[in-house]
Copies of this chain bind each other. A is one copy, B any other.
């Protein structure tokens, strides 16, 4: 569908939420509550992010997660790599070699690889720090009740309440 998966979407939300206070440690529970997402789902995302070294986990009671790098040093591409299928590439054929007999001379493949590369660069250019730097003031006067109820977190998306 030429979309990132929901898990990846959640990943950007979770990471952005954490980037507001980059030094703090957050529990899965806290993040899930702040973002009104399911705890198991957020846990799953955090586990994957941990495995890929984007966040550091502290186990045991009073444990939690913290960014393992500064928000300036984490890109959307990092998050996508952690949560989307690898290898990166908009078509199967451009991502994986050996599927086609004409590979060497196939301009379709070459072009899809070129396009995929551009997409990748776009993802690499957006850093987590960009996600929290609010440069456009929010001009909404009175947010609806539902939104107000979630005021705790700086950015909340209306997703299935779970």
Q: Which residues of A contact B (CB under 8 A)?
A: 1-5, 8-9, 12-13, 16, 76, 80, 84-85, 88-93, 95, 99-102, 104-108, 110-112, 114-115, 118-119, 122-123, 126, 130-140, 143-144, 146-147, 150, 155-158
Given contacts A3-B89, A89-B3, contact A126 B111 (CB under 8 A): yes
* A92 to chain B: closest residue by CB: B3
Q: With the chains together, A99 CA to B5 CA distance in Å?
A: 17
**A125 CB → nearest B CB, Å:** 8
Q: With the chains together, A35 CA to B8 CA distance in Å?
A: 34
Number of copies: 2
Q: With the chains together, A105 CA to B89 CA distance in Å?
A: 31
Q: With the chains together, A70 CA to B125 CA distance in Å?
A: 35
Partner of A106, one of B5, B91, B155: B155
The reply to whether B105 and A134 contact each other, CB–CB distance below 8 Å, is yes
